[in-house]
Amino acid sequence: MRGIRNKDTIKIGPRHSSLVSDSLAVEAPLEIQIWDHHHHLYFPFNVTMRTPGSDVELALGFLFAEGIIGKIEDVLQWEESADDLIRIMLSPQIRLNQTDIDRNFFTSSSCGVCGKKSLEKIAHASCYFPPKASPVVHIAELMALPAQLFNAQSLFQLTGGIHGAGLFDMKGQLLLAREDVGRHNALDKLIGAALQQQLVPWRAAALVLSGRISFELVQKASMLGIPFIIAVGAPSSLAVELAEDCGITLIGFTKGERCNIYTGAERLIIDKPSSTSITAQLFTP
């Protein structure tokens, strides 16, 4: 399976040791090159450490989350010229300055914010905004979503070392799920897939994350107008501040019947179950 590599490993237990074949999540560089319409050549725009697979989605999602493109029509064509290289031709109307190129050139798998010059430069204005105080949903319905994402994480179940991001509609149906060794890469892949499938904006949807909630993950999700972010792990202080500023309902430490609600509690029914299913129209402007 792509994205997994097997390694002979000595497994130590309380009573004996054994030689086993362990599945490891692959971490490898992906270079994104952008066509320069003026000089008629491709130039390197970004290098990220990622798990191979869904690389075009990763590149498209990254460009959207960085504010480089606003819709799939901004991309004229793309090609995978090698396993670790994506070449993209943007519309001539998309103008990149040297600052965009300099701050995006390298991204580690652990944190996409690393290497950027300041937080102010990545606090982009969202392309979309979530509706205020709606949709309204019972908290128990959202708390059930991480378990569904876990069941869809085939790479995690084999390796135990990979992150997941899932997009759900307001009926609790999993629409898309993507995995990667990097949290931000998993979300970029999800965004890229949604762009290609015309599932943007996310104003009546929930984003579920398998790990902790960083500032950058909230920033990326805010670009699509997401009203709900639910995660298994903890949020950072800056992630909470940004979610509050963007009007996002942010829920962390979600496990079983427990969770912490950090922002946007006005969208949640907490005291009693909802008597009817949510019928909000999905992905309407």
Q: How far apart are CA 186 and CA 57, in angstroms?
A: 10
- Is 111 one of the catalytic residues? yes
Long-range contacts of 163-166 (CB under 8 A, 24+ apart): 163/209, 163/210, 163/211, 164/208, 164/209, 164/210, 165/189, 165/190, 165/207, 165/208, 165/209, 165/210, 166/190, 166/207, 166/208
Distance from chain centroid for Cα 3 = 17
Distance from chain centroid for Cα 17 = 38
Are the CB atoms for 267 and 251 separated by under 8 Å? no
Which amino acid is it at 148?
Answer: Q
DSSP 61: H
- Which among 111, 114, 246, 259 is annotated as catalytic? 111
Which run of H or E residues covers position 259?
strand 258-263
Residues in contact with 101: Cβ distance below 8 Å, sequence separation at least 6, in sequence order: 43, 45
Give the C-alpha distances (Å, rounded to integers) separating 268 from 45, 99, 138, 236, 253: 41, 41, 6, 22, 16
- 207: how many CB neighbours lie within 10 A of its CB? 27
Q: Tell me the catalytic residues.
A: 111
